[in-house]
């Protein structure tokens, strides 16, 4: 996509966010929202490759970690409180 066209589309996106109650977004949050809905070809290829590798690992017998372990580690890493009912 040509960068001037992409910039014009981003400008339109920000205008839509402001018109639809997104005026409390920071510029970084607006850019994150834009990127989430408009991934680059490079990002999409990286995501595809990560999924391909995960599926290959599963086929090789890797069962990953239990959700409870992941949740506990993720919350600790990001300084989030434990889920309700966990201590």
Range of the domain at 68: 3-77
- Whether 33 is in a domain gets the answer yes
Query: CA-CA distance, 8 to 13, in Å (whole number)?
Result: 9
pTM of this prediction?
0.47
Report yes or no on 85 lying in a domain. Answer: no
Number of domains in the chain: 1
| Within-domain flag for 34 | yes
pLDDT band with cut points at 50, 70 and 90 for residue 86? low
Q: How far is CA 76 from CA 7, 52, 60, 70, 72, in A?
A: 38, 28, 30, 10, 6
Handedness of CA 52, 57, 58, 59 (dihedral sign): positive
| Structural domain includes residue 11 | yes
pLDDT tens for each residue of 60-75: 999 989 999 999 999 9
């Amino acid at each position: 996509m040509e960068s001037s066209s992409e910039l014009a589309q981003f400008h339109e996106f920000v205008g839509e966010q402001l018109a639809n109650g997104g005026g409390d977004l920071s510029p970084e949050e607006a850019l994150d929202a834009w990127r989430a809905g408009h991934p680059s070809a490079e990002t999409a290829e990286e995501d595809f490759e990560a999924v391909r590798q995960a599926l290959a690992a599963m086929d090789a017998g890797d069962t990953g970690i239990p959700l409870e372990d992941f949740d506990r580690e993720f919350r600790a890493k990001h300084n989030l409180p434990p889920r309700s009912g966990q201590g």
